[in-house]
Amino acid sequence: MNLIWNSGLSRFEAEFSTDFNGDLAAVKAAGFKTDGAPLWKWYTYKAGPLGKLRENRPPSGLTISPEAREQFTALWTLEEKNVKLKAELAAHNKVLKKKLKIEEQQGNAIVIPEKGYIDASDLPPAPPYLSTYTPPPPPETKCIICGGPVYFYEKQDPPTCLWDEKIVLDNDGEVC
């Protein structure tokens, strides 16, 4: 297998030897990707898959063009620096999260007085309850007996409230 640098697409490409199946298995295991049909070019933009391919060489052998080697060495050193920086950043973020969690817990901690327990005298007074509910206005229809409001679910002809419905009225509206 031969590795070349495609300067037009800025990527490493693999050219297979006569042992197609062995080369194909090696590039797949290393993490190369393919363009697909019709050319089936196997490529990578990173130096990591080339490092894996160098460690696990295909049975047919491995060669690299001088231009690809130059690009690989530059990219390999850059990726190694990035790995170290990412590890340092992850360690720093872990310490920072732990520190912030401890500070949050200390800020929310309850101070227990010397007597050993908390009762109502240790707490601040609660604000007085203010109801925001305002009842709807009573209906305009009034009861003919007591003069109280008559709602929609009460007797409407003649208008009579629930308390006065037990009094029987005759047809003229007079009390029997």
Residue 175 lies in a domain: no
First vs last C-alpha separation in the chain: 115
* Residue 54, in any domain of the structure: yes
Domain boundary among 76, 92, 114: 76
User: Residue 78: which pLDDT band, with cuts at 50, 70 and 90?
Assistant: very high
- Residue 153: what pLDDT? 87
Task: Tally the domains of the chain.
Answer: 2
Total-model pTM: 0.52
The pLDDT tens digits of the residues spanning 101-120 come to 999 988 888 888 899 998 88
Domain boundary among 76, 93, 125: 76
Among residues 26, 55, 76, the one where a domain terminates is: 76
Q: 60 near 22, Cβ under 8 Å?
A: yes
Assess if residue 19 is contained within a domain. Answer: yes
Give residue 173's pLDDT.
53
pLDDT per residue over 4-58, tens digit each?
Answer: 999 999 999 999 999 899 999 999 999 999 998 888 899 999 999 999 998 988 8
pLDDT tens by residue, 122-175: 888 999 999 999 999 999 999 988 999 999 888 888 888 888 877 644 445 555
Full domain range(s) for residue 149: 138-170
Q: Is residue 115 part of a domain?
A: no
Look at residue 106 and tell me if it is in a domain.
Answer: no
- List of residues 6+ apart from 63 with CB closer than 8 A: 1, 2, 3
